[in-house]
Amino acid sequence: MRAFLFLICPVLLFLGVSYLLPFLGIVQLSFTDPDPGLTQYSRVLTEDLPTGVIWRTLRLCVMVTAVSVSCAYVITFLWVRGSPLVRSITELCIMIPFWISVLSRAFGWLSMLSNRGLLNTWLQDMGLIDSAIQMTRNEFAVVVGMSHYLIPFAVFPLATAMRNVDERVLTAADGMGASRLRIFWQIFLPMTSSGILGATLLVFVFSIGFYVTPALLGGGQSVLVAELIYLWIFQIPQWGMAAAMSVVLMLGVGGILYVLMRRYGEMAR
């Protein structure tokens, strides 16, 4: 026990100095800038701009989480239960995105979805559309870009859950005459629900703090919380508002994380 404490104390000290002290400074700033009191929190929770950005962020994060986890489930199923060739190709497709920066991916989607991008050019050349479809500077582009980045992260908790499925249960269901679709919906899917919840938790928490992808693909038309905080700090000096929004975001994510972790623990048992 003493050896464990000796090893863990430096880590806790490092985390406290690196994260807790700066966060306490932000909390203090949220109560004191520009005037002492709860004015900043009142504005964040009542004014149209911050509340609209918060709800937009939550709505888009829910959409991104649903898209990412759904796509990741299909990819993971192929990776875990496909043929050796399919597994190898799928594993390569999962790993390659980790070698590409988020900025490069965002610019790649811009070149694909812009009015003069590859997709619009192909559709016009094939005669399917007369004029370019607006696919950037909107929420659609933000959801596509964020989902593309987060899908690989959702794969790993899903893969863990799928590999832990007892094959004997699936074999027994098949032997009793159940169809493949029924085995999937009534046995396989419920047995991987812990992985679905873990992937949902991971993707949602990551998506809350996204900045680069929404800023580039949204083009200022779909501002999320992280971008608004950046504007309040670097372009419109309102440090108190930025600090209050950061604290609200931190507490909100912490609350969601607590609820989902409790649910995950119950499902794991």
State the CATH architecture for 47-268.
Answer: Orthogonal Bundle (1.10)
C-alpha span between 218 and 138 (Å, rounded) = 5
CA atoms within 13 A on the CB side of 200: 17
Residue 6 in this model has a pLDDT that exceeds 80 = no
Instruction: Write out pLDDT tens, residues 25-35.
Output: 888 888 887 77
DSSP for residue 232: I
Q: Which of 157, 240, 265 lies closest to 205, judged by CA?
A: 157
**Residues 93-106 pLDDT 10s:** 888 888 888 888 88
219: which residues sit within 8 A by CB, 6+ positions away?
136, 137, 138
Q: Are 123 and 233 in contact (CB under 8 A)?
A: no
Of residues 241, 217, 240, the one with CA closest to residue 49: 241
Q: Determine the pLDDT at residue 181.
A: 86
Question: Cα(260)–Cα(217) distance, rounded to whole angstroms?
Answer: 30
Whole-angstrom distance, CA of residue 151 vs CA of residue 69: 7
Give the residue from 266, 267, 260 showing the smallest Cα distance to 191. 267
* H/E run at residue 168: helix 167-175
Q: Provide the residue ranges of all domains of the chain, joining segments of one domain with +.
A: 47-268
Residue 149 pLDDT more than 90?
A: yes
List CB contacts of 188: < 8 A, sequence separation 6 or more.
165, 170
**Total-model pTM:** 0.87
SS3 assignment, position 238: coil
Kindly state the average pLDDT of the residues 129-146: 88
- Whether the CB-CB separation of 214 and 227 falls below 8 Å is answered with yes
Residue-averaged pLDDT of the chain: 86
pLDDT score, position 126: 85
Per-residue confidence (pLDDT) for residue 125, from 0 to 100: 84
Task: Say how far apart CA 241 and CA 50 lie, in whole Å.
Answer: 9
